[in-house]
Amino acid sequence: MASRSKEYYDSHPEAARKKRAYQRRYKKTKKGKISQKKVAESNTYNRRNGTYGNGDGLDYDHATGRLEKESVNRGRAEGPRKKGSKRARRTARRNRKK
């Protein structure tokens, strides 16, 4: 017997997608004060420049201090995701085993 919320999200895929997006965002930003500060700074910048929530595909990049396409900004390899980092090698090894 499934819970009421599971039944709801099974029958409303758009609501389930929004919930998952919120959960990903929450998981990412609640890791520490620095992350929260970066998100707040990015949101403020996007609101001031009229790009917040309008679907234009642009994001404020805290590293370069300018607007970039979301895919570029979120896909950039930084820190542990850089090629050659210990964490990246470990992940690559794990993926090869599958």
Question: Is residue 43 included in any domain, yes or no?
Answer: yes
Does residue 10 sit within a domain?
no
Q: How many domains does the chain have?
A: 1
The band of 71, judged by pLDDT with boundaries at 50, 70 and 90, is confident
Instruction: Give the pLDDT of residue 5.
Output: 92
Q: Beta-carbon neighbour count of residue 59 at 10 Å? A: 19
The per-residue pLDDT for range 3-12, each reduced to its tens digit, is 899 999 999 9
Instruction: Determine the distance from the C-alpha atom of residue 15 to the mean position of all C-alpha atoms in its chain, rounded to a whole number.
Output: 18
- Rounded Cα gap, residues 33 and 12, in angstroms: 34
**52 in a structural domain:** yes
pLDDT the model gives residue 9:
92
Residue 62 lies in a domain: yes
- Which pLDDT score, from 0 to 100, does residue 83 have? 64
Determine the pLDDT at residue 78. 63
Q: What is the pTM of this model?
A: 0.41
Q: Is residue 3 part of a domain?
A: no
In a domain, 2, yes or no: no
Residue 70 placed within a domain = yes
Reported as a single tens digit per residue, the pLDDT across 10-60 is 999 999 999 998 888 777 666 666 677 877 888 888 888 888 878 888 887
For 36, the domain range is 31-97
